Amino acid sequence: MSAIRPDYSRPLDFKGGRVEMSHGAGGRAMAQLINELFAKAFDNPYLAQGNDGALLPPASGRLVMSTDSHVVSPLFFAGGDIGCLSVHGTINDVAMMGAAPLYLSAAFILEEGFRLSELKRIVESMARAAKDAGVFIVTGDTKVVEKGKGDGVFITTTAVGVIRDGITLSGDLAQAGDKILLSGSIGDHGMAVLSQRENMTFDAPITSDTAALHTLVAAMLDSGAKLRVLRDPTRGGLATTLNEIAKQSGAGMMLQESSIRVNGPVDAACEFLGLDPLYVANEGKLVAICAPEDADRLLEVMRAHPLGRESAVIGEVREDAHGFVQMITRLGGRRIVDWLAGEQLPRIC
Amino acid sequence: MKYVDEFRDGELAKHIAARIAHEASPLKTYRLMEFCGGHTHAISRYGLSDLLPDNVRLIHGPGCPVCVLPTGRVDQAIRLARMPGVILCTYADTMRVPASGKLTLMRAKAEGADVRMIYSTQDVLKIARDNPQREVVFFAIGFETTTPPTAVAVKQAAAEGLKNFSILCNHVLTPAAMHAILEGGVALDGFIGPAHVSTIIGSQPYEVFATEYGQPVVIAGFEPLDVMQAILLLIRQINDRRAEVENEFTRAVTREGNLKAQALVDEVFEVRDAFEWRGLGSVPHSALKLREEFAGYDAEQRFGIEYVAVPDHKGCECAAILRGEKRPQQCRIFGTVCTPENPVGSCMVSSEGACAAHYSYGRFREDAK
Ligand code: SF4
């Protein structure tokens, strides 16, 4: 980010002002937006260097890097907004590798006419999420597209983390007999966003589960349990994540529907919209696959963490040449939990 | 809390399954047709056949709106959609039903036709109001449940004087299809009767199947426990040599049905002499068309598009599946050429279709063999 110090100009109008093309044009207006909004909110020594890139200290281990673009609509939803979501989502991707996240970059594509007040709310939410997670947003970029060519704001974040020696997690390491653990209820994020969009109201509101999971992961790694795979079941939901792992590992799975938690209002909203919660996005849950003898120990550690209180063993990995993910339904029958067929759900993450 | 419900459901299901196993005579086979796609979906989604003894067999019926739509009808919709100035509106699943020449409405849309997916007929009216210079056609499909909303829309359009709205009417009738199935000669021992359709038409229209064809009918809701309970009631009727219409879904279905909805439909529609169904062929008195006084809203007349019957894809067994004669896995291209991503036949399109339901939920059964 630039460190141009503009001569005095009127401060940005965060009450009634809107994004203009000039805010992405590289001139004074852009510098002002960066200084008065981004630099102020994200405030940290790396960002303050003010060069084209952030110069970071040497890391003490292998590096993990992951990137994710966020295009959620609506931008604000119960339990979060696109800002904290874009921080949590990318931190989680790095955390699922077993790494401790350190730095983030953030790139914004703003639509001309977008309210500065909303942008400010989003940026401040990002700053808070990063601070809570102990991660620095060290570099960034802003572009503005003409009105009608964006959807308010799109945010791309990249995270870098470091992984300590001896940890190897990968989607192809699941073995027959391994246990599958899930850190809590499913479908909360997707249905929070969708129900807001569809203007559905329920007795109990549906709140997104968006959260940074790296401290939960750290506790799990510290437990010494033989962890093989960690994944966060975001877009495509639990079903998609498990199918990906099954495919990568060349194994099948057998799940117990009764151990997969779905909150009442989420279930009702899914029913209403004809959706299966197994395919609905989560933003604060993880799936862990571990050696069977360590499952109890791991479960205990997960339940002791605030983000894993409702953790459960939901099934196990088994030999299956077809790589089918199957489930004993709550009625006691068997079914396949297949890849999602047909249309994608609307944009929710 | 959901947990508790699930536990209870599981316990209850086990209890009903035990009764079924106890009461079903090992000397008999019980061939039960679930007419509705909603039941097909529930059965597959919850793996209910695993809870039944081998001699209790469920046969999928034709009650899946997009499944029974013949190719020629989708062709007609595509022809309409491609006319300059036309906006064609339809429900989501209809967009993916295969038509002639490897087309679907979805593909026609990608090639430039203005096809819009809608959730309710009110959406169609709104599109018509917002686009007075365009012709807005609703590709209306479905059984008795989707007919009343179409009737409401037509009446509303008439009241508003909305001139640029019309419908391509493909509303069909459940009892006529059940007649056709029974006349077709498939060996059946009873029907699991429709849930939502019956809330509209009531239980009375099924009585003829009990009295004249000796077929027990149990109307059931779409919850998996409803289906289990209906199976038990059917087995009891069969064991007692009774043939009656029983209503498991009393929380929503009466003998007379929804008289208001029936009157509304009757005001707007009349029965066609015959209508072609996929699988069942031309079935007399099995579908609806607009009454004379609403004929101005009939897209077939307004745009002069004739229905042309088209044979199904050669390899596709949808016809036999819809008649209850074959199972999805007996189709040679099931799961290979024909998958939910690339459906060849209509039964692979919607999750209520027999092939899609079996593919998505049950195909481990063959592969295990
Ligand atoms: S598998 Fe496909 S082609 Fe075969 S019967 Fe089913 S829908 Fe038709």
- Which residues of B are less than 8 Å from A334 in CB distance? 47, 50, 364
B289-345 residue pLDDT tens: 999 999 999 999 999 999 999 988 888 999 999 999 999 999 999 999 999 988 999
Q: Name all domains of chain B by residue range, CATH numbers in brackets.
A: 4-65+181-247 (3.40.50.11750), 67-173+257-303 (3.40.50.11740), 318-361 (no CATH)
Nearest Cα to A222, choosing from A305, A114, A125? A305
CB of B91 within 8 Å of a chain A CB? The answer is no
CA distance A125 to chain B (A): 32
B334 lines ligand 1 (CB under 6 A): yes
| Domain A21-163 homologous superfamily, CATH | PurM-like, N-terminal domain (3.30.1330.10)
Which architecture does CATH list for A179-336? Alpha-Beta Complex (3.90)
Say what the pTM is: 0.86
Evaluate: CB of B328 within 6 angstroms of ligand 1. Answer: yes
Q: Stretch B92-108: mean pLDDT, rounded?
A: 92
CB B302 within 8 A of CB B67: no
- pLDDT digits 0-9 by tens, A74-105: 999 999 999 999 999 999 999 999 999 999 99
Domain with CATH 3.30.1330.10 in chain A: 21-163
Closest CA to B157 of B310, B364, B297: B297
Q: Is B331 in the pocket of ligand 1 (CB under 6 A)?
A: yes
Helix (H, G, I), strand (E, B) or coil at A43: coil
**Which residues lie across from B283 on neighbouring strands?**
B275
Mutate to test the interface with B, among A259, A329, A337, A344 (most CBs of B within 10 A): A329
Please state which of the ranges A2-16, A40-54, A80-94 shows the lowest mean pLDDT.
A2-16
* B61 close to ligand 1 (CB < 6 Angstrom): no
* Residue intervals in chain A for CATH 3.90.650.10: 179-336
Beta strands A76-77 and A153-163 are unpaired
* Residue A10 pLDDT level (bands cut at 50, 70, 90): confident
From A258, A264, A322, residue closest to B367, measured CB to CB? A322
Q: How far is the CA of B22 from the centre of ligand 1 (A)?
A: 36
* Nearby residues of A131 by Cβ (< 8 Å), 6 or more positions away: none
Q: How confident is residue B357, by pLDDT bands cut at 50, 70 and 90?
A: very high
Q: Does B229 touch chain A if contact means CB atoms closer than 8 Å?
A: no
Phi (first) and psi of residue B116, to 5 degrees: -125, 135
Q: How far is B10 from chain A (nearest CA, A)?
A: 4
Percent share of chain A, pLDDT over 90 = 83
Ligand 1 centre distance from Cα of residue B348 (Å): 6
ipTM more than 0.90?
no
Per-residue burial over A218-250, b if 16 or more Cβ lie within 10 Å, else e, is ebbbebebbbbbbbbbbbbbbbbbbbbbbeebe
Residues of chain A neighbouring B96 (CB-CB closer than 8 A): 342
B345 within ligand 1 shell (Cβ under 6 A): yes
What is the pLDDT confidence band of residue B92, given thresholds at 50, 70 and 90? confident
User: Which pLDDT tens digit goes with each residue over A125-142?
Assistant: 999 999 999 999 999 999
| Cα–Cα distance measured from residue B144 to residue B149, given in angstroms and rounded to the nearest whole number | 10
User: Do A335 and B48 lie within an 8 Å CB cutoff?
Assistant: no
Q: B225 in contact with A at a CB cutoff of 8 Å?
A: yes
**How high is the pLDDT of residue A4?**
57
Pinpoint the alpha helices (H) of chain B.
2-23, 37-45, 71-81, 105-110, 121-130, 147-160, 174-183, 196-201, 207-211, 224-239, 259-268, 299-302, 318-322, 354-357, 364-368
Among all chains, which residue has been given the structure tokens 């009808």? B73
| Strands (E) located in A37-124 | 62-70, 76-77, 80-81, 100-111
